[in-house]
Homo-oligomer: A and B are copies of this chain.
Amino acid sequence: MNINDLTNKLKEKNIKVSFQRIKVLEYLNNNRTHPTVDQIYNDLHLEITSLSRTTIYNTLNALVESGLVKLITIDDNTSRYDIDTRNHGHFKCQTCKNIYDFKVNIDSLSEKELKDFEINSKDVYFKGICPNCSI
């Protein structure tokens, strides 16, 4: 995805295009690590010295609200963000703290118990030790 694609994504969602918003989207597009606000801020701030943390929060809230970005709450204290909004699971290594994606057939989970519930989002979070850390 290039900057044009990202710009169009914003326009489709009626989010006004700005330099900062493009930069945040671009960051998420290039860093598929489910970054925290602080990681995004620290990295982008090197490049854009005027950038404010508040702008990152505002932007991410707008992106999540619009559905362009997914909020990940696998951490108990810090929000993480994922530009990949397709259904997939997240595995957090308790040692190295990395968050891995994995395929999971979430649609097969829809249980009859929830037939009268309107489901807007589904998340599958696993925790444990990743292969790199279990050697």
Contact = CB atoms under 8 A, between A and B. Distances in A.
A126 B121 contact: yes
A62 interface: no
A91 B117 contact: yes
Interface in A40-56: none
Interface string A60-75: 0000000000010111
B111 A119 contact: no
Interface of A: 71, 73-76, 79, 89, 91, 94, 100, 102-105, 108-109, 111, 113-114, 116-131, 134
- Which 5 residue pairs of A and B lie closest in terms of their CB atoms, listed nearest first? A116-B131, A118-B129, A120-B128, A119-B128, A123-B125
